[in-house]
Structure 1
Amino acid sequence: MSTPEEESVFDTYRDRVERPLYRLFSEYGVPEWKYFAGGMAANVVARAASLLPPLLLGAAIDSVFTGDSAFSLPVVPASWLPATAPDAAQFQFAAVAIVVAFFVTAVFTWLYGVAANLFAHRVMHAVRTDSFEKMQRLDMTFFDDKQTGEVMSVLNNDASNLEVFLDNALQNTARLAVMVVGIAGIMLWMNWQLAIVTLAAIPLIVVLTLWFMRTVEPRYVAQRQSIGDLNTRLENALSGVELVKTSNTESYETGRVRDASYSFFRDTMSVLKLNYLYRPGMELLAGLSFAVTFVVGGIWLFQGPPLFFSGTLSTGEFVTFILLTQRFVTPLAEVSNIVDQYENAKASSERVFGLRDIPVRIQDDADATDISPVEGRVEYDDVTFGYESDPYGDPDDDTPDPLADEDVILDGVSFDADPGETTALVGPTGAGKSTILKLLLRLYDVDGGEIRVDGHDIRDVTLESLRGAIGYVGQDTFLFDGTIAENIKYGEFDADREDVVEAAKAAEAHQFITEMPNGYDTRVGERGVKLSGGQRQRVSIARTVLQDPEILILDEATSAVDTETEFLIQRSLDRLSEDRTTFSIAHRLSTVKNADQILVVEAGEVAERGTHQELLDADGVYAALWNAQTGDRDRLKQELDIET
């Protein structure tokens, strides 16, 4: 289990989930009630039909073979039965009825299986897709905390556990309920005294089950947590496999996975230790019920009523009791599996709804408007921002936590960008350049001040229209596993091949694409690993060209490629930025010297602003950076006062 210091947002909201399985049925089961009701009805018929053969056999024994009593069945009118007919007719009736009962049992068991599986899988389809949809809407703050493994655990492991519960546990529970009620009713009707002997194990089974459920629940919670931790560790190790290999740290990562796996093993064994007590205990109680019934019934049949019992017991009744008790024992022995699946599902549903309950902090206001068409004027007005140390905090406290001084990333940032202008942001690493532009996309919300597009506070417009007007090309280009054409069309899925080719030409990508074996239909592999960094970058630029945004963000789009590739990419970026409001973050100042305005960002503030020449004439931070990059070592030595 996580310590209080390590508690994740999952833990916070999972712990607040009340009656998780009730929520599962009320939110997802109710819309599929027809399948559930149909399945339960078929189950009742199937189980009722399965109880007829022992009754028919007992009646036939007493009427046909021993002649102890007339042919009779519970609830069935005597006029419907061959009670006074010849023995052959009674035997024939019993044989035909037994065959019909087995046939009805088979048909309605099939109907129940179909309905139950449709119910379970339709519910889980909705749970999985809704959980993924919610995950997509969560803020970047959530993913900054590296919750990917936890989310994968919810979408895969926890959803699968719920599916098993809905598919198997519900089916077995329904079968158990019908069998217990039906068998108990028949036994009490036939011989209430012997029935009490058979049913005496039920209170003990209930007590043992309640103890098991109370004891095992926290252990299941810990097990689900350890699965999430293991998935996170595996996901991180696989995502960073190149770094692992180049750092020669395979043994270190193996050790971390081994530790996470052992935690999962330890928590799983903690659950299994209880199961090793509970399941054999259930089987023992059920078996003792059968044995005691056999002993008491056998003595009664051969020697008369034992102990304080009274009345008679026929051979047919004894045979029926033994057969029904055996059918009674089997479902009772399966209670352990049902409880096991129930507790597992309860822990999983808490995590599913814990994810569902995490608030979406950045979303459209009720009166948000569509910003399109966009001209492209952008204004930053005294913008302040900081990453909160505990962004989700106490779910019951809506008061935002004040930022400590050390948490402030941006402080009083103000500037304007007119339509068609290019604004460059330069400065040391960690100064806040990327954060400034992430706020424009509303990946995060400002803590103070405003960001406006065409005069509209971006918090007052729809996210779809805002982000639809902004194109983003970053340094770390992500491509989905698919073809080059599919990756260029991402976001513009209806674009035809001609548009894709034109976008690739504008991005200087057409030539290398056509030289590949399958051209635009070449698969790029996971994360685009089959392409070079420069090729991935140009595919990303082509994707942005196809989107044709009014506002363009270039976040160090050429910093990780060679000089020749940089020239090609920069040429395509120059084409892309024509007649658009463009923001460019760059460490290589030569790529932004022609910008309409350059902002020098230091420690979260705009320290200098102006054109390239104006900043050089000011002889400040920008001039020092420029001289450092253009090789003026003597000036750099003088300014930094260092020895060569």
Structure 2
Amino acid sequence: MSTDEQTPFDRYRTRIDRPLVRLFADYGTSRTRWLVIGLVANLLAQTASLLPPVVLGTAIDALFREETSEYSLLFLPRAWIPPGEVAQFWLSVALIAGSFVATALFTWIYGVSANFFAHGVMHSVRSDSFEKMLRLDAAFFDDKQTGEVMSILSNDSQNLELFLDNALMNGVRLIVMVLGIAAILFALNWQLALVTLVAIPLIGGFTVWFMRVIEPRYEARQSAMADFNTRIENGITGVILAKVTGSEDYEVDRVRDASHGVFETTMDVLKLSYFYRPGMELLAGFSFAATFLVGGYWILFDAPGPLTGDLSVGVFVTFVFMTQRFVAPLAEVSNIVDEVQNAKVSAARVFGLADIPVRITDREDAKRLGDPEGRVTYEDVCFSYPELLTDDHGPAVPDDETETDGGFAALDGDEGDDDSVIEHVSFEAEPGETVAFVGSTGAGKSTLCRLLLRLYDVDEGRVAVDGTDIRDLELASLRQHVGYVSQDAFLFDGTIGENIRYGRFDESDEAVREAAEAAEAHEFIQRLPDGYDTRVGERGVKLSGGQRQRIAIARVVLQDPEILILDEATSDVDTDTEQRIQASLDALTADRTTFVVAHRLSTVIGADTILVLEDGEVVERGDHDTLRQQGGRYAELWGAQTGSE
């Protein structure tokens, strides 16, 4: 992937060093006790599971053969072994049964503990990732990273969960089994043990090669999955547009292409995985076959080749059982490697998100905006969207200035194709005044409003509230006192009442109803089947555009801010409803500092000041009558909309 094609995630992901180590350092240390309990229980469970073959081999040699040998176990003091074959038989039964009970008990303990650890870590990872997403600068979402974020919160989190839940404990189990079996086999017969373990170096080298080759393929698959998620999310969001333009086949082809990318990258992984897995099983199978061949020959004839000494039937049986136990965990190495590699890529993506800097933050000495008068000043403000996400700049914004969901979608394409969006804009709005921004699409109207909300920081000049630069104010307190109604009002999936209360969650039902009445929304809400308890659907799809806007206005009425931004707030309502809403808005704005972005100039006739913007510059300013009399750009726009000269 070229630099120009990289997403913000890619740029920061590639800088993550040892992502799994960081995962444990950042999220595992607070849950160390669960991990330790799980590891110890796993160790005891696997150790106990190795006991039956050893006891069985001893019992065969000491109890069930004509030429019996002394009953002795590697791990049991001689003083604990009772005299007599019958007592030794029952001891063998007790040890085998007890080992199964211990294995089951400690397996349950390590399973519960491991899941407490794994799911606790993933709870924190998911929560922190979502919190980081919400705190990222608004400019980040201009780069259309919704699918990437969704992939992190779903696919990558699931991969990490599988690693912590399965691969980690299975890896420990594998180590315990290999070391434990090797120790027992060497204690019983070191020569045959060498035959059994001869494949271990080959298995290790094969695994190192596989891990080195498979990692970039996993990265490509995760990237393809993120692209697919983005395409699906865009397709679902734009389903109505696809229908009304007859573009369903086009969208299907785009999703099909993205899905084929997932298919191809997945097959790249699987083809290598299915070469590795049978190879591991083959090498482990060779260990078993070699043990059976050499041990069987030793029992039937004599010590083969350079081997010396005797091999009892019981020891041979133990070797056969142990080698079979040895084969299974070695064959599982492929699954463990798969999960580890998946987790490395996913952890890098998680921390790639975590490391993206947030630049719109509170300064250390930030002041709280208590009870503002509402005086807003723009002083020689210049602003342009940065072109590339680097250590020194924010992310690029697309040419249409369209933001993702959250109430700032499809504003008005203010920045156009030029680097500079706002150029040397200065004006002042006194408390209670209304300032309107008018001009053609792409002139910079909505961008000026977004600068007041401090969704972006100015490049030059300053924006001030009551004489204080907004960069010196606490963000939360600034936005608490600035209400915003956008052209494309966003509603969460929930009830109408919940959406009106959003941001003022403790307000009473009466306050919600009064806000709805002020926004001319109460009447249509009452006609709905469940009134204020009616669910609006995802993004408010069950309501019309005008109904969504009136609910958004009601939300701001309930907020009761000192500063109000109305960005085409009545663009989706009919003329009659607009007149009624406008009357309510006039009452709402009477004692507030208000900024109005409008294409319908009839809605800004009463504004104290109208700023006419072209290419980010203020080309005219004044009230309605003054601007009409000047015969300039505003007069042209007014004439075009009203048909008058």
Secondary structure of 1:559 counterpart: coil
Taking only the aligned residue pairs, the percentage that are identical comes to 61
DSSP-derived class of the 2:462 partner: strand
Are positions 1:80 and 2:80 aligned together?
yes
Partners of 2:581 and 2:334 lie apart in 1 by 64
User: Are the structure 2 counterparts of residues 17 and 530 from structure 1 closer, same or farther at C-alpha, using a change threshold of 3 Å?
Assistant: same
d(CA) in 2 for partners of 1:455 and 1:294?
88
Deviation at 1:398?
Answer: 7.5
One-letter amino acid of the structure 1 residue matched with residue 463 of structure 2: I
Offset of 1:555 from its aligned partner? Answer: 0.1
Match of 1:294 in 2: 292
Per the alignment, residue 45 of structure 1 pairs with: 44
Q: What is the alpha-carbon distance in structure 2 between the residues aligned to residue 346 and residue 110 of structure 1?
A: 28
1:5 is paired with a residue whose SS is coil
Contact 2:386–2:393 (CA<8 Å) still a contact in 1? no
Quote how far apart the aligned CAs of 1:399 are.
Answer: 11
Q: How does 1:344-359 map to 2 (within 5 A)?
A: 344-359=342-357
Match of 2:221, as an amino acid?
Answer: Q
- Secondary structure of 2:4 counterpart: helix
Cα offset for 1:575?
2.2
* CA distance in 1: counterparts of 2:638 and 2:394, whole angstroms: 45
- In the alignment, which residue of structure 2 is the partner of 1:509? 521
Counterparts of 2:2 and 2:263, CA distance in 1:
19
Q: What is the distance in 2 between the residues matched to 1:481 and 1:574?
A: 30
Q: Tell me which residue corresponds to 2:482.
A: 470
Residue 96 (str. 1) matches residue 63 (str. 2)? no
Q: In the aligned structure 2, how far is the partner of 1:404 from the partner of 1:121?
A: 46
CA RMSD of aligned residues (A): 1.6
Query: Corresponding residue for 1:340?
Result: 338
Q: Which amino acid aligns with 1:354?
A: G
Aligned to 1:177: 175
The residue number in structure 1 matching 2:559 is: 547
What is the match of residue 626 of structure 2?
614
Distance 1:221 1:327, change over 3 A: same
Q: Give the Cα–Cα distance (whole angstroms) in 1 for the partners of residues 305 and 522 of structure 2.
A: 96
Mapping for residues 437-586 of structure 1, pairs under 5 Å: 437-586=449-598
How far has the Cα of 1:560 moved from its partner?
Answer: 2.5
Taking a change above 3 Å as real, the CA distance of residues 405 and 302 of structure 1, as seen in their structure-2 partners, is closer
For residue 256 of structure 1, the aligned residue among 238, 254, 257 is 254
2:13 and 2:353 in contact (8 A); partners too: yes
Partner of residue 303, structure 2: 305
1:400 CA drift (Å): 12
Q: Closer, same or farther in 2 for the Cα pair 1:398/1:476, shift >3 Å?
A: closer
CA distance, structure 1, for counterparts of residue 560 and residue 81 of structure 2: 83
Whole-Å separation in 2 of the counterparts to 1:284 and 1:94: 34
Rounded Cα–Cα distance in structure 2 between residues aligned with 1:398 and 1:383: 18
Do the aligned residues in 1 keep the contact of 2:437 with 2:596 (CA within 8 Å)? yes
> How many corresponding residue pairs?
626
Which amino acid counterpart does residue 18 of structure 1 have in structure 2? D
Separation in structure 2 between the aligned mates of residue 437 and residue 483 of structure 1, nearest angstrom: 29
| Alignment correspondent of 1:265 | 263
Residues 123-162 of structure 1 mapped to structure 2, 5 A cutoff? 123-162=121-160
Instruction: Kindly indicate whether the alpha-carbon contact (under 8 Å) linking 1:372 and 1:465 is maintained by their aligned counterparts in 2.
Output: yes
Deviations 1:596-641 (A, max 9, x none): 1111111101111111112122221112211222212xx4xxxxxx
Deviation at 1:76, TM superposition (A): 2.0
Task: State the 1:571 CA deviation.
Answer: 2.1
Give 5+ residue unaligned stretches, structure 2: 397-414
**What's the TM-score, normalizing by structure 1?**
0.95
1:603 aligns with 2:615: yes
Q: Tell me, yes or no, if structure 1 residue 414 matches structure 2 residue 442.
A: no
User: Which residue of structure 2 lines up, in the alignment, with residue 378 of structure 1?
Assistant: 376
Measured in 2, the distance between the counterparts of 1:504 and 1:531 equals 15
Aligned-partner SS, 2:478: helix
Please tell me whether the aligned partners of residues 68 and 314 of structure 1 are also in contact (alpha carbons under 8 angstroms).
Answer: no
Task: Write the letter of the residue equivalent to 2:607.
Answer: A
Other structure's SS at 2:571 match:
coil
Q: What's 1:69 paired with? A: 69
Rounded to whole Å, the distance in 1 between the matches of 2:330 and 2:81 is 33
Contact 2:416 2:442 (C-alpha < 8 Å) held by counterparts: no
Q: Which residue of 1 aligns with 2:55?
A: 56
Matched, 1:106 2:118: no
Distance 1:399 1:484 in 2: 35
Deviation at 1:140, TM superposition (A): 1.6
> 2:401 aligns to what?
none
* Residue 442 (structure 2) pairs with residue 430 (structure 1): yes
Contact 1:524 1:531 in 2 (8 A): yes
Q: How far, CA to CA, are the matches of 1:73 and 1:371 in structure 2?
A: 78
TM-score, scaled relative to structure 2 = 0.95
SS at match of 1:373: coil
Shift of 1:105: 0.5
Distance 2:322 2:138 in 1: 60
- Specify the SS of the correspondent of 1:329: helix
Helix, strand or coil for the counterpart of 2:387? coil
CA distance in 2, matches of 1:400, 1:255: 29
Could you say which residue in structure 1 is the equivalent of 2:408? none
CA–CA separation in structure 2 for the residues paired with 1:533 and 1:208:
61
Contact 2:369-2:478 within 8 A present in 1 as well: yes
| 2:406 counterpart residue number | none
1:523-555 Cα shifts (integer Å, max 9, x gaps): 111111111111111111111111111110000
